[in-house]
A = this chain, B = another copy of it.
Amino acid sequence: MGVHQYFKSLSDLEKLIRCPGKFKYQDHNVAAHSFKVTKIAQYLATVEEQNGQEIDWKLVYEKALNHDYPEIFTGDIKTPVKYASYEIKKLFAQVEEEMIEKFITEEFPEQYQEIYRHRLQEGKDDSIEGQILSVADKIDLLYESFGEIQKRNPEPLFFEIYESSLETIMQFDHLSSVQDFIEHILPDMLQEKFIPRSELREITMSILEKREIKRRL
Contact = CB atoms under 8 A, between A and B. Distances in A.
B159 A195 contact: yes
A39 B67 CA distance: 12
Interface string A93-114: 0011011000000000101100
Interface string A136-153: 000100010001011111
Contacts of A170: 207-208, 211
Contact of A3 (B88, B173, B185, B191): B185
Contact of A74 (B28, B77, B111): B77
Given A46-B112, A88-B95, A162-B203, 16 more contacts: A4-B184, A10-B35, A12-B21, A14-B28, A17-B20, A20-B20, A23-B26, A35-B38, A42-B62, A58-B58, A73-B78, A77-B81, A84-B98, A151-B153, A156-B195, A186-B204
Given A204-B166, A208-B182, A39 B65 contact: yes
A172 B47 CA distance: 36
A116 to B, nearest CB: 8
Interface in A166-201: 166-167, 170, 173, 182, 184-186, 188-195, 197, 200-201
